[in-house]
Amino acid sequence: MTKPDFGFEDLIHLSDLFRARQSIAPHVRRTPLSFSPSLSDATKAEVWLKLENLQVTGSFKLRGAVNRMLQLDDAEKKRGVVAVSSGNHGRAVAYFAARMGIKATICLSSLVPSNKIDAIKSYGAEVKIVGDSQDDAQIEADRLVEEQGLVWIAPYDDLRVIAGQGTIALEVVEDLPEVNMIVAPLSGGGLVSGIAIGMKQIDRRIRVVGASMDCEAGMVQSLKAGRPVTVGEGPSLADALGGSIGLSNRFTLPIVQAYMDQAALISEDELVPAMQLMFRGEGMVIEGGSAVAVAALFGGKIPCMAGKKIACVITGRNIDPERFEAAVARDVRAA
Ligand SMILES: *Cc1c(COP(=O)(O)O)cnc(C)c1O
């Protein structure tokens, strides 16, 4: 990869994660890290679940969004914010904008499930549905920034967002100092970047594994190409993971490239069994975007897990109940 004209090492450090943690603490839940007997039995490892499905707004995205939005100045607050999202980032931005008493506009593609759209609207945000991909929604957001002066709240490629997501790593190490590995879903890479900065600067031996869908995986294909590449977007149960990493990606690609130890690729067929395992074994409803990390553990994609202490980030729960029922619960009852 052609070297970027600056190193991210100069721009974000462990101390930024600690600072983020202090800032967001009043607004964000410190979620439990919970031992999972069912996943441990299935993997012969000691598996702990970082339960961001219990986070306010139903996903970890609130951490990064809050850390970013707390840094808005008064003039920016007056102008209001705009975001592009596969659903959960938009929900976090809309929620926190309502708490701050500022205006939010969320641009979504037609692929975003209706339950996520309804949640965003319920916080009073303005929703714009544009085109069939996040790249299309981005064009509208860019226009609103340009013409109306709205303030752009990036979903992943922003150091303040990355630092917010990285607070997950600090909490995991506090609760399980002997952790050997952390597995998290990987899409735009804000989550894995933040976690990797935390883990690698605390202890380089902690392995960081990112789990992605095996088709149209923007980050994985960009890592292969050594530069940001655009991927297509289609319907998937892992709707939270759709989209490219942005052709002008500045941070998440170099950070993931430097720090992530392994990418685990998951097929569409592996999502439902992982969701069933979580439902049956843990009584938890998780969305498809979260299920990739469970599937990575469960499906034997990761070498040398036996006996290791592994933290698995359960990123969100925002699946439409009817869709969950049809895809996951019906089979469980029949079984
Ligand atoms: C956004 C999201 C991810 C992926 O996070 P990135 O920072 O884009 O890599 C994973 N799971 C869920 C539920 C999400 O909403």
Nearest-atom index, ligand 1, CA of 287: 13
How far apart (Å, rounded) are the C-alpha atoms in residues 272 and 266? 11
Does the predicted TM-score (pTM) go above 0.85? Answer: yes
Q: Is 156 in the pocket of ligand 1 (CB under 6 A)?
A: yes
Taking only the tens of pLDDT, the chain with its 335 residues reads 444 445 677 899 999 999 999 999 999 999 999 999 999 999 999 999 999 999 999 999 999 999 999 999 999 999 999 999 999 999 999 999 999 999 999 999 998 999 999 999 999 999 999 998 888 899 999 999 999 999 999 999 999 999 999 999 999 999 999 999 999 999 999 999 999 999 999 999 999 999 999 988 899 999 999 999 988 888 899 999 988 898 899 999 999 999 999 999 999 999 999 999 999 999 999 999 999 999 999 988 999 899 999 999 999 999 999 999 998 877 555 44
Q: Is 166 in the pocket of ligand 1 (CB under 6 A)?
A: no
Out of 57, 60, 108, 256, give the residue to mutate to test ligand 1, the one with the largest number of ligand atoms within 8 Å of its CB. 60
Crossing angle between the packed helical segments 14-24 and 159-175, to the nearest 10 degrees: 90
SS3 260: coil
Contact status, residue 52 vs residue 31, Cβ threshold 8 Å: yes
* Residues 65-78 as b or e (16 or more Cβ within 10 Å = b): bbbbbbebeeeebe
Phi, psi of 307, rounded to the nearest 5 degrees: 75, -5
Cα–Cα distances (Å) from 86 to 59, 138, 141, in that order, read 12, 11, 14
Nearest-atom index, ligand 1, CA of 184: 10
User: Which one-letter DSSP state was computed for residue 316?
Assistant: B
DSSP 117-180: HHHHHHTT-EEEE-SSSHHHHHHHHHHHHHHH-PEE--SSSSHHHHHHHHHHHHHHHHH-TT--
Nearest-atom index, ligand 1, CA of 318: 13
Measured torsion, CA atoms of residues 61, 62, 67, 73, in degrees rounded to the nearest 10: 110
Tell me, what's the pLDDT at 4? 47
Tell me, what's the pLDDT at 3? 47
If one counts every other C-beta atom within 10 angstroms of the C-beta of residue 234, the result is 11
Tell me, what's the pLDDT at 232? 86
Using the mean position of ligand 1's atoms as its centre, give its distance from the Cα of residue 335 in Å.
31
User: Residue 8, exposed/middle/buried by CB under 10 A (0-12, 13-18, 19+)?
Assistant: buried
Nearest-atom index, ligand 1, CA of 185: 10
Out of 88, 244, 292, give the residue to mutate to test ligand 1, the one with the largest number of ligand atoms within 8 Å of its CB. 88
Using the mean position of ligand 1's atoms as its centre, give its distance from the Cα of residue 11 in Å.
22
Of 166, 182, 216, 155, the closest CA to residue 48 belongs to: 182
For residue 47, what are the β-bridge partners? 310
| Nearest CA residue ID for atom 14, ligand 1 | 240
Nearest-atom index, ligand 1, CA of 88: 15
How far apart (Å, rounded) are the C-alpha atoms in residues 144 and 199? 37
Tell me, what's the pLDDT at 1? 46
How far apart (Å, rounded) are the C-alpha atoms in residues 197 and 163? 9
Q: Is 228 in the pocket of ligand 1 (CB under 6 A)?
A: no
Q: Is 289 in the pocket of ligand 1 (CB under 6 A)?
A: yes
Using the mean position of ligand 1's atoms as its centre, give its distance from the Cα of residue 239 in Å.
10
Q: Which two tokens stand for residue 173?
A: 């190490």
User: Would the CA dihedral through 77, 146, 109, 229 be positive or negative?
Assistant: negative
Using the mean position of ligand 1's atoms as its centre, give its distance from the Cα of residue 186 in Å.
6
Of 305, 295, 150, the closest CA to residue 210 belongs to: 295
Going by C-beta distance under 8 Å and a sequence separation of 6 or more, which residues neighbour residue 213? 236, 238, 241, 265, 266, 267, 268, 292
Q: Is 200 in the pocket of ligand 1 (CB under 6 A)?
A: no
Using the mean position of ligand 1's atoms as its centre, give its distance from the Cα of residue 290 in Å.
8
| Nearest CA residue ID for atom 13, ligand 1 | 316
Using the mean position of ligand 1's atoms as its centre, give its distance from the Cα of residue 242 in Å.
9
User: Residue 250, exposed/middle/buried by CB under 10 A (0-12, 13-18, 19+)?
Assistant: middle
Q: Is 316 in the pocket of ligand 1 (CB under 6 A)?
A: yes
